[in-house]
């Protein structure tokens, strides 16, 4: 028999009381999943808050790289995911793709010892480990600027993976030269060389959408995530991570209209009025939307029965190096 949403919530709450578990949910999760989160936030906050949490099990409602990051930072914890959903951007680069990117820089005349790699947290654990081994570190959308500022002090070229948009947006903000591997741009003359990855959800927002809203509602503000195309970020009033967007929008006067360029579930929860989705196509992240209440219930049940489903495992060597690259970020 299919359980109703209310029945599922009740059963989930009973398991939460009975078991040593913390349910963690990213802002992009479906409303009903987000509401049962004990810890919610952007990807940096989730990594930090979950590290400080003391429960034996983390039930992570989000995408694979987020669950992996928790496991890497707290190897003694058991991390399970109601759905093993994979961020599309994170799947664009693996260890081989990373090695080939280093090779592309070498071929452009940049020696490996003069490369400092930075990986956006939206990457798999293998890539984070490779970055750690090369002396690099992780960044998130909320701290990318400070991480890159620190990295540049080493006087090296930055190899930024996998999100070309975040890499180029930070370069533009800081007045640095950037290029994208494989698109014919000049790698040797760039400060930041980006892998050609992107988020298909954030590619939905365009300058045409911004012009449409500015014409329709003069005085409207445009707030977007830095995974949007540089042309979109340049034409916006505010660019920030999911948490930064929420803080910015919640402080606006009630009658201030704002159009927001990020995932639909987050935008839909923001404010009852005067908030618009900056796209005519509903910007839903397919993988973030995969996790259902039923999946959360099933994973809690499996913990109670002693056979946890979808547990995240990372081998020791990968864990060691990925932790180094994440810890370097957290230390800043």
Angle ∠(274,278,279) on CA atoms, nearest 5: 130
Chain position carrying tokens 């370069």: 171
Nearer to ligand SF4, 209 or 227 (CB): 227
Residue ranges in contact with ligand SF4 by CB under 6 A:
63, 87-89, 122, 199, 201, 227, 263, 285, 287-288
Q: Is there binding between residue 291 and ligand 13P (CB under 6 A)?
A: no
Closest CA to 174 of 207, 147, 201: 147
CB 43 within 8 Å of CB 122 = yes
Q: How far is the CB of 139 from ligand 13P (least distance, A)?
A: 10
- Asked if 114 and 302 touch (Cβ cutoff 8 Å), the reply is no
The item of ligand SF4, ligand 13P, none sharing an interface with residue 287, based on CB under 5 to 8 Å by kind, is ligand SF4
Number of residues binding to ligand 13P, judged by CB under 6 A: 10
Residues 125 and 68 sit within 8 Å (Cβ to Cβ): yes
CB of 284 to ligand SF4, least distance (A): 9
Please say which residue, 121 or 220, places its beta carbon nearer to ligand SF4.
Answer: 121
Minimum distance from CB of 287 to ligand SF4 (Å)?
Answer: 6
Return the closest-CA partner of residue 290 out of 88, 13, 15, 14. 88
Q: How far is the CB of 227 from ligand 13P (least distance, A)?
A: 5
- 3-state SS class at 156: coil
Beta strands in 240-302, from DSSP E residues, in sequence order: 258-261, 275-277
**Backbone torsions φ then ψ of 31, nearest 5 degrees:** -50, -50
Binding mask 101-130 for ligand 13P (x = CB under 6 A): ---------------------x--------
Residues 116/131, Cβ–Cβ less than 8 Å: no
* Contact of residue 169 among ligand SF4, ligand 13P, none (CB under 5-8 Å per partner type): none
Residue (264 or 321) nearer to ligand SF4, CB: 264
Q: Which residues bind ligand 13P (CB under 6 A)?
A: 42-43, 122, 140-141, 199, 225, 227, 241-242
């Amino acid at each position: 028999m299919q359980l109703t949403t209310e029945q599922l919530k009740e059963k989930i709450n009973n398991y939460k009381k009975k078991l040593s578990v913390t349910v963690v949910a990213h802002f992009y999760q479906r409303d009903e999943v987000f509401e049962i989160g004990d810890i919610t936030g952007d990807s940096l906050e989730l990594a930090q808050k979950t590290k400080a949490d003391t429960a034996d099990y983390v039930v992570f409602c989000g995408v694979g790289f987020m669950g992996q990051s928790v496991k890497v930072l707290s190897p003694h914890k058991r991390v399970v995911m109601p759905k093993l959903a994979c961020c599309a951007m994170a799947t664009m680069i693996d260890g081989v793709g990373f090695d080939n990117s280093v090779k592309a820089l070498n071929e452009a005349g940049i020696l490996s010892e003069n490369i400092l790699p930075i990986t956006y947290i939206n990457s798999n654990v293998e890539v984070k480990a490779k970055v750690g081994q090369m002396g690099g570190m992780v960044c998130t959308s909320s701290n990318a600027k400070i991480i890159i500022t620190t990295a540049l002090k080493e006087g090296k070229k930055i190899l930024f993976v996998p999100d070309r948009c975040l890499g180029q947006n930070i370069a533009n903000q800081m007045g640095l030269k950037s290029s994208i591997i494989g698109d014919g741009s000049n790698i040797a003359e760039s400060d930041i060389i980006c892998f050609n990855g992107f988020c298909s959800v954030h590619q939905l927002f365009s300058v045409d959408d911004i012009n449409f809203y500015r014409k329709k509602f003069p005085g409207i503000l445009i707030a977007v995530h830095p995974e949007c195309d540089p042309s979109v970020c340049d034409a916006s009033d505010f660019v920030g991570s999911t948490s930064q967007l929420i803080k910015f929008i919640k402080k606006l006067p009630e009658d201030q209209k704002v159009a927001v360029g990020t995932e639909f579930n987050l935008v839909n929860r923001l404010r009852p009025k005067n908030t618009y989705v900056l796209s005519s196509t509903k910007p839903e992240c397919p993988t973030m939307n995969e996790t259902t209440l039923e999946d959360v219930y099933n994973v809690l049940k499996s913990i109670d029965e002693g056979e946890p489903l979808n547990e995240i495992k990372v081998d020791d060597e990968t864990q060691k190096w990925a932790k180094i690259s994440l810890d370097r970020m957290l230390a800043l």
